[in-house]
Structure 1
Amino acid sequence: MSVPTGKSIAPPSRESNIREDLRVSAATTVGTAIEWYDYFLYAAAAGLVFKELHFAPLGQAAATLVAFLSVGLSFIFRPLGAVLAGHFGDKWGRRKILMITLIMMGSATTLIGLLPTYNSIGIAAPILLIFLRIVQGFSAGGEWGGAVLMAVEHAPDHRRGVMGAAPQVGVPAGLLMSSGVLAIMSYIAPGEAFMQWGWRVPFLLSFVLIIVGIFIRHGVDESPVFEEIAARKSNVNMPVVKLFKRHGVLVILLALVFAGNGAAGYMTTGGFIQNYATDPTGPIGLQRSDVLNAVTLSAASWLVFTLLAGIVSDYIGRRATYIIGFIIQILGILALFPLVNTASIGYLTLGLVLLSIGLGLTYGQQSALYAELFPASVRFSGVSVTYAIGAILGGAFAPTIATALLQNTGTTSSITVYLVAMSALGLLAILLLRDRKGIPLGPEHEKLQRLSPVRGIGTTDYAKVKMD
């Protein structure tokens, strides 16, 4: 049952200043793009660079697995970052946390670009690399929730989907940027030059991006919902404890929704396809620059359909958009490896673009969905922690699992089964949730927001809840 909207349960939404909306959208998109540029840059470099420069003494197969494990390791620390960011974000505000996470992520990425290799300093090289990756994971855990709430809580009711898509668009934009810069450096410093110094340039570029991000985010006002919470002095002392006590089932279901998207998405964002398609000892053996170009094109497609999903969800609802998206995503997964295994760069590009359509349609509406399902008092904690758990279940070790499946079965069919199963779990989870498009987000409507959005749990009679 959808939540009734309109005058029957809520006053008309506030008139949004177009200039402020554009400023918020730009700040969340650009800031998130910079954060995920840093995050995805590491994932791509893990299979292309770090397995040789930092983990080579382990041997080819083990080095590849460990490199991808280092990608997934950061996800373990994302919940810690999410818990702390959610706790302080619900108490101090969204804007401060976003500035802290941006600086943390950019600093770690810049230092990776300066890090010596195993041949220079021995075992200290992979240890320092893994430490900096953990810092990236800690930062990523707090970034997304703050960006989402800045976008959605500034938005008028009827535009939450499209404004909430702004930080979502920042994720494929980050992939587009990281893949694009790596591709450019592959041309500027081909072959051995790329391994010697070319890979470092994209990491060092992060220092410039930090300055840009700080400048853009500095001019954005705090979320109006948080300002109202602060004015009412209705901050919760232990928001994470309250979150799991009252909304544990919701957290699990929403984590599965994101996991259904993340497992397939991390075939490229986690670097698996890049490594699989360019491995000279493997069945594909394509050129690194060609594959990076294909990933860049697919990221552009992912960006477009992410924005489209946000727009569409404002008309047909978040839940319906997800259902359509997961069906299309499963079809894209079934087509992916048959196209990649042709060893044709054209078919590989087609496979990645087809997959990105479903990825976008199961991602663009996520900000609005999450924000509308959690009460105002625990919303930062709710969206941040849920996102981090979903990232672990779906994306953290997807490249490692795919690599292990390939090494043990000798076929990509096993990977396809794994990805379809994860997408099916996401589809099942969204079917168990109600759509609450347009529900009031302010703290004065907390009684309405606390009603269970999980089908079969709690009251479903939203219309009888009296507004304060």
Structure 2
Amino acid sequence: MSRPNSTPGAPATALPRRNSTLGVGAATLVGSALEWYDFYLYGTAAALVFNRIVFVNTDATVATLAAFATFALGYFIRPLGGLIFGRLGDLLGRKRILILTLLIMGGATILMGLVPTYDQVGIWAPVILIVLRLVQGIGAGAEFGGAAIFAVENSNPRRRGLHGSWPSAGVYLGLLLASGVFAIVTQLPEDQFLAWGWRIPFLLSVVVIIVALVIRLRLAETPVFEEVAAEEHKPTPVRDAFANEKRGMLSLVLAQTPQNVVSSINLAFITAYIAGNLQLANTVGPQATTLGTAVTMICLPLFGLLSDRIGRRPVMLIGMVFSALFAFPYFWLIEGGRAPLPITIAIVLSLGIGIGAMFGPQAAYFAELFTGRSRFTGLAFSRELAGALTAGTTPLIAVALVAAAGGSTWLVSVFIIAACILGIVSVLVVGETRGRRLSATTVAELKASTGSFEN
């Protein structure tokens, strides 16, 4: 770190401005919340609105499938966004890209609230919506990765797990906001809801965008990026990532897989299974998921803090091993109880312990897998690739497995266990990462710095 020049008569050298912990936490929490508020908002609208006023078809099933196909598109385009903006984040800085992705992602969501209906413009309605969905996905492809890196690179090396958990908590805050706002507007009479009510949640994004933008504009660049950028080296983040950090990228994809699978089972598949297969009230699944989401928000920073005490690997393994062991009891509680209480217990435990332990330390763990020169590129691309491969496909796979098993869920449990085994093997092979020097510019230097607790 540069120090003030104390020589009499010499010009003073200003210390670089550092960000407050509160400011960084707020910036990453709110931005991540906006990302997933926008993303889950579309999923809800696809089920309730877009299949009726945008993707119009005489066959309701075809219309619904078309609406959900565009939902999946958002996942599949995100790796491209991770690669494009990850590269720019390694070249231009974390802060600039976080502001850019915020505007792209939020702007697309606001415009979705203004999309005309099929009756108004015909085929152009689905075309416009698809384009906006793709733009939203590209912007979102670097939001979590950038927020995670920004939080971790600004934190005390001994508190990276805790501070890095705020973007993770933002994911579940965004989900709660989306479900809450939509729950309010769906109370409108159906004709008013379909005419204008559904647009309100999308347009309300402007409030979160303004708040997040004001916070992010006030922050300085991370000290780690400033240190790496000051070196006399022409950065080539994409080439460096694919040439030198392939192992870290593969490890990330595998470690991300169980979290994606377990999360998608709880947040997407299980509600449809409870209502469709178990013939329970439509409110049972959403209510249990909402409570599980709230509990997970509290658990995430606790598990992040625990990873600062005992290491990333043990905490990640707790979540993966628990999720594997709980895969069968999870469905026993849901199917055997066929009542709100056991269903809620199953979802709260799966999300609170399983996802909490896997997702809480994730920002710190993933950031410590990569060198300073290509961290944004490697992390954002790999994480979103894992999302495209597993998060976007898990609900469809689970439905197919239930059908293949004649209505039973045992194959879904096996699927969860298999995903957890992949993650467990990856985390065991990589080893501990806590305390690595984030400004390291080679993989050998990065690994050798494990436990040094230097930035």
**Is TM-score (shorter-chain normalized) higher than 0.5?**
yes
Partner of 1:432: 429
Mean Cα displacement is larger for which, 392-401 or 192-201?
192-201
What fraction of aligned residue pairs are identical, expressed as a percent?
A: 38
Matches of 2:362 and 2:307, distance apart in 1: 10
Partner of 2:349: 354
Matches of 2:227 and 2:108, distance apart in 1: 34
Matches of 1:58 and 1:72, distance apart in 2: 22
Matches of 2:280 and 2:123, distance apart in 1: 30
Cα distance, 1:141 vs structure 2: 0.9
Instruction: Give the aligned residue type for 1:223.
Output: T
The counterpart of 2:282, out of the listed 287, 300, 309, is: 287
Aligned ranges for residues 369-388 of structure 1 at < 5 Å?
A: 369-388=365-384
Whether contact under 8 Å (1:161, 1:310) holds in the other structure is yes
Cα distance, 1:268 vs structure 2: 4.5
Partner of 1:415: 412
Mean Cα displacement is larger for which, 350-359 or 218-227?
350-359
Which ranges of structure 1 fall in alignment gaps of 5 or more residues? 1-15, 454-460
Does residue 243 (structure 1) correspond to residue 241 (structure 2)? The answer is yes
Partner of 2:321: 327
Matches of 2:224 and 2:369, distance apart in 1: 15
Cα distance, 1:252 vs structure 2: 1.2
Aligned ranges for residues 259-270 of structure 1 at < 5 Å?
A: 259-269=257-267
Matches of 2:273 and 2:66, distance apart in 1: 15
Matches of 2:402 and 2:340, distance apart in 1: 21
Partner of 1:258: 256
Whether contact under 8 Å (2:86, 2:377) holds in the other structure is yes
Mean Cα displacement is larger for which, 330-339 or 224-233?
330-339
Matches of 1:332 and 1:50, distance apart in 2: 36
CA distance 1:100–1:229, shift in 2 (3 Å) = same
Matches of 1:113 and 1:276, distance apart in 2: 30
Matches of 1:278 and 1:132, distance apart in 2: 31
Partner of 2:10: none
CA distance 1:355–1:208, shift in 2 (3 Å) = same
Cα distance, 1:440 vs structure 2: 1.5
CA distance 1:234–1:24, shift in 2 (3 Å) = farther
Instruction: Give the aligned residue type for 1:229.
Output: V
Whether contact under 8 Å (1:333, 1:419) holds in the other structure is yes
Cα distance, 1:74 vs structure 2: 1.4
CA distance 1:51–1:400, shift in 2 (3 Å) = farther
Whether contact under 8 Å (2:160, 2:308) holds in the other structure is yes
Cα distance, 1:298 vs structure 2: 1.5
Cα distance, 1:33 vs structure 2: 0.8
Whether contact under 8 Å (1:157, 1:438) holds in the other structure is yes
Mean Cα displacement is larger for which, 19-28 or 407-416?
407-416
Instruction: Give the aligned residue type for 2:220.
Output: D
Mean Cα displacement is larger for which, 373-382 or 344-353?
344-353
Matches of 1:129 and 1:272, distance apart in 2: 24
Cα distance, 1:54 vs structure 2: 3.7
Cα distance, 1:363 vs structure 2: 0.5
Does residue 80 (structure 1) correspond to residue 80 (structure 2)? The answer is yes
Aligned ranges for residues 306-345 of structure 1 at < 5 Å?
A: 306-341=300-335, 343-345=338-340
Cα distance, 1:287 vs structure 2: 3.1
TM-score scaled to structure 2, two decimals? Answer: 0.87
Secondary structure in structure 1 of the residue aligned to 2:322: helix
Cα distance, 1:313 vs structure 2: 0.4
Partner of 1:11: none
Partner of 1:218: 217
Number of paired residues? Answer: 434
Whether contact under 8 Å (2:19, 2:154) holds in the other structure is no
Matches of 1:63 and 1:427, distance apart in 2: 40
Which ranges of structure 2 fall in alignment gaps of 5 or more residues? 1-15
Partner of 2:3: none
Cα distance, 1:331 vs structure 2: 3.9
Matches of 1:230 and 1:294, distance apart in 2: 47
Q: Deviations over 1:68-100 (max 9, x none)?
A: 332221122111111111111111000010011
TM-score scaled to structure 1, two decimals? Answer: 0.85
Partner of 2:130: 130
Matches of 2:417 and 2:65, distance apart in 1: 22
Cα distance, 1:276 vs structure 2: 4.0
Cα distance, 1:260 vs structure 2: 1.4
Matches of 1:261 and 1:160, distance apart in 2: 20
Secondary structure in structure 2 of the residue aligned to 1:377: coil
Cα distance, 1:190 vs structure 2: 5.8
Q: Deviations over 1:307-352 (max 9, x none)?
A: 1221110011111101111122234443444444455333332222
Which fold has the larger relative contact order, with Cα–Cα distance below 8 Å and residues 6 or more apart in sequence? 1
Whether contact under 8 Å (1:65, 1:403) holds in the other structure is no
Instruction: Give the aligned residue type for 1:113.
Output: G
